């Protein structure tokens, strides 16, 4: 079976297991609510009864930058969480149920099997992120002002790349372990490790998390690039998928 046939099966699976629906619903909901929340928060604070007038006056008016940072914050948290949740069962569950062995007795190579899974999830996240970005762009336009669409597109592209890193790493975890739960736990450990290292001053510039800052600064017109983090992210994706292939080939199903 060729790659496209396996990918087609995986895409059907994305639909049948509601993964596409979940990712799209969550990301779009946060895409829409981020600019709204940025606009709302000061108004809600001002509506608190008995708020001293000096304090109410000190609350800054919401800006375009608030909308963008809110969007990036929500997307980074929930996008990565979804990447873990959606990818953790992809290999482990098929091993548990024995369907992986069934697939591989047909002429499907390990690479095709894993790459089709990765690609199907990548497409799910890309489509959902496009919808979310359009929603966020439109709401920001209505509530604040127009965002530069080229830079905003770049921001979303960079965010997608970070999600892909976590999808690839979680797929590797899913290959290493026997059950979905163990895969989720292992992937969460990796997430903590990557996020923890990312918080360190110098090392952080080389890790996927730096891409969020780069995207935000692009959209807000600053220039704070993070090319090393981009290359490291691409490298991490390639390394995780390669490692998953090597491990998977040696496993007895």
Partner 1 sequence: MEEIRQYIPFLVPILIIQLALMIAALADLIRRPRTKGPKWLWAVVIVLVNFIGPILYFVAGREEEIKE
Name the residue nearer to partner 1 (CB basis): 2 or 99. 99
Instruction: Determine the distance from the C-alpha atom of residue 112 to the mean position of all C-alpha atoms in its chain, rounded to a whole number.
Output: 23
**Does 95 interact with partner 1 (rule: CB under 8 A)?**
no
Residue in 8, 9, 11, 36 binding partner 1, rule: CB under 8 A? 36
Q: How many CB atoms lie within 10 A of CB 95?
A: 21
Name the residue nearer to partner 1 (CB basis): 83 or 158. 83
Helix and strand tally (H, E) in the chain? 12, 0
Residue in 97, 192, 221, 253 binding partner 1, rule: CB under 8 A? 97
Residue in 11, 25, 153, 242 binding partner 1, rule: CB under 8 A? 25
Residues 62-91 that bind partner 1 (CB under 8 A): 85
Distance CA 156, CA 161 (A): 9
Residue in 5, 43, 231, 238 binding partner 1, rule: CB under 8 A? 43
Name the residue nearer to partner 1 (CB basis): 132 or 229. 132
Name the residue nearer to partner 1 (CB basis): 22 or 220. 22
**Binding mask of the shown chain, residues 116 to 145, with x at each position contacting partner 1 by CB under 8 A:** -------------------x---x--xx--
Q: Kindly give the residue spans of alpha helices, DSSP state H, lying in 48-176.
A: 53-58, 64-87, 92-97, 99-105, 110-143, 149-176
Name the residue nearer to partner 1 (CB basis): 174 or 233. 174
Number of residues that bind partner 1 (CB under 8 A): 23
Distance CA 9, CA 90 (A): 13
Interacting stretch for partner 1, rule CB under 8 A, among 33-41, 103-111, 149-157, 166-174?
33-41
Q: Minimum CB separation from partner 1 for residue 85, in Å?
A: 6
Q: Which of 224, 245, 223, 226 is nearest to 234 (CA)?
A: 226
Please list, in sequence order, all residues whose beta carbon lies within 8 angstroms of the beta carbon of residue 74, skipping any fewer than 6 positions away.
Answer: 30, 33, 34
Distance CA 152, CA 209 (A): 17
Which of the 8 DSSP states describes residue 125?
H
**Are residues 241 and 171 in contact, defined by beta-carbon separation less than 8 angstroms?**
yes
Residues 182-211 that bind partner 1 (CB under 8 A): none
List contacts with partner 1 (CB under 8 A). 17-18, 21-22, 25-26, 28-29, 32-33, 36, 39-40, 43-44, 47, 85, 93, 97, 135, 139, 142-143
């Amino acid at each position: 079976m060729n790659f496209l046939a396996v990918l087609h099966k995986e895409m059907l699976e994305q639909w049948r297991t509601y993964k596409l629906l979940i990712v799209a619903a969550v990301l779009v909901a946060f895409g829409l609510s981020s600019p709204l929340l940025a606009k709302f928060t000061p108004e809600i604070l001002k509506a608190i009864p008995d708020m001293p007038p000096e304090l109410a006056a000190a609350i800054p008016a919401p800006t375009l930058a608030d909308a963008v940072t809110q969007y990036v914050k929500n997307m980074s948290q929930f996008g990565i969480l979804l990447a873990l949740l959606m990818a953790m069962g992809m290999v482990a569950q098929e091993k548990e149920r024995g369907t992986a062995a069934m697939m591989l007795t047909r002429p499907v190579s390990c690479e095709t099997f894993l790459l089709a899974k990765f690609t199907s999830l990548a497409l799910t996240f890309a489509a959902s992120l496009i919808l979310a970005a359009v929603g966020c762009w439109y709401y920001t336009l209505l509530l604040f002002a127009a965002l530069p669409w080229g830079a905003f597109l770049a921001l979303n592209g960079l965010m997608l790349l970070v999600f892909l890193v976590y999808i690839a790493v979680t797929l590797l975890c899913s290959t290493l372990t026997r059950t979905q739960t163990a895969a989720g736990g292992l992937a969460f450990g990796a997430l903590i490790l990557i996020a923890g290292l990312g918080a360190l001053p110098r090392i952080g510039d080389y890790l996927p998390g730096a891409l969020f800052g780069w995207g935000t600064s692009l959209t807000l017109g600053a220039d704070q690039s993070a090319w090393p983090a981009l290359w490291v992210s691409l490298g991490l994706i390639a390394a995780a998928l390669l490692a998953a292939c090597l491990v998977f080939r040696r496993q007895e199903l």
